[in-house]
Copies of this chain bind each other. A is one copy, B any other.
């Protein structure tokens, strides 16, 4: 049991209302950012299925399962303040269902289409309830030039939105394993443009911007997208998706462990 509850009541209510909550860079201790940044080159160097390239076939887009392969990330996932905030939002007994580092390289980082995250975890992993939370740690300043996450405020309150499934593999990834279709910029589950426009007109768009070290929490059903990085500045983000052990994946044909962890042990906060 983690006694740390770093979010105020107002912050918890803002998350519930808006579907996201942006915490300043003071939320984590200053050395955490430097440690994670120092570990990124090693994460990116690993060649294998955990690593997904951009459409250009050269630039690293994401590396998955980094909490399983990298000690720094494993420790960050157990930071008392991070675990405490997550538990305030989804309850006790949390573990990391999925993690990745997104590079969003200068001049190369592709856009991500409008999507909700949870439908992948429901359809691919058989997770019954959207009681998960995304935690993004900014590894660089995120500004309006380097492809911030763009949210539609309050769109998570609509549940899973009307859409159509993209069959087959996205362009440029035809030779990749089938689960790659859930990891690329071309979303497998596409949401109708009129639905997006309606939600945007009601809730408004917001870019999650802030200095390196900022921590962003967002709901698995909040509708989001991300413009490409046209700037000369990297936009690295570490993403940790927390779930609770009471909401386990039940898929009979599970995705690889680095996309859907099977080690359902509640994390203990670092001492």
Contact = CB atoms under 8 A, between A and B. Distances in A.
What's the number of copies of this chain in the assembled complex? 2
Given A107-B193, A144-B207, A145-B207, A150 B230 contact: yes
Interface residues of A, number: 23
B232 A106 contact: no
A164 interface: no
Given A144-B144, A225-B230, A227-B227, A106 B205 contact: no
A270 B252 CA distance: 74
Contacts of A233: 200
- Of the listed residues A200, A201, A231, the one surrounded by the most CB atoms of chain B closer than 10 A to its CB is A231
A190 to B, nearest CB: 11
A226 B145 CA distance: 10
Contacts of A230: 111, 113-114, 150, 225-227
Interface string A213-239: 000000000000111101111000000
Given A144-B207, A197-B232, A227-B230, 10 more contacts: A106-B193, A107-B193, A114-B230, A145-B207, A150-B230, A201-B232, A205-B231, A225-B230, A226-B230, A228-B228
Interface of A: 106-107, 111, 113-114, 144-145, 150, 193, 196-197, 200-201, 205, 207, 225-228, 230-233
